[in-house]
Amino acid sequence: MNKLCPCGSNQPYTECCEPIISSKKEAATCEELMRSRYTAFTTANVDYLMRSHHTETRPVKEAVSLKRWAASVHWMGLAILDKEAGQVTDDTGYVEFRALYLEAGQLQQIYEKSFFKRENQKWVYVSGIHFPKA
Ligand SMILES: [Zn+2]
């Protein structure tokens, strides 16, 4: 059984985000890392969310509440809207995305431009700017 990856890539989960989340392979681009982090949100995999976060901005104190929140909402999908750099040969990159979820019966979204960097050669999430809901 090949279930499709939650990140919306139309790839099987086992060939998309799963190998990245389970450390079998590194994200080659910051978009791959972004997708794997969304997928980790859908399974409330906070260990991975922390591991894929830059050590300088990693929200360790929020890990427990983040896990509770991620597990309490129903993740509806991810749309990558734009990206800058973040390719195999880059050291920094940006990804703009929308992530949709249902919380208490209401459709909500995260609309964010995320900044990624390499730390010890691996892509990690550094920070994000949230846009107003539109
Ligand atoms: Zn995926």
**CA–CA gap between residue 51 and residue 119 (Å, rounded):** 11
Could you report the per-residue pLDDT of 15-29, keeping only the tens digit for each? 999 999 999 999 999
Residues 52-80 pLDDT 10s: 999 999 999 999 999 999 999 999 999 99
Cα–ligand 1 centroid distance for 95 (angstroms): 15
Number of C-beta neighbours around residue 99 at 10 A:
21
What gap in Å lies between CA 130 and CA 38, rounded to an integer?
Answer: 16
Spacing, Cα 33 to ligand 1 middle (Å): 9
Residues with CB under 5 A from ligand 1 (ion): 5, 7, 9, 16-17, 35
Q: What is the model's pTM?
A: 0.95
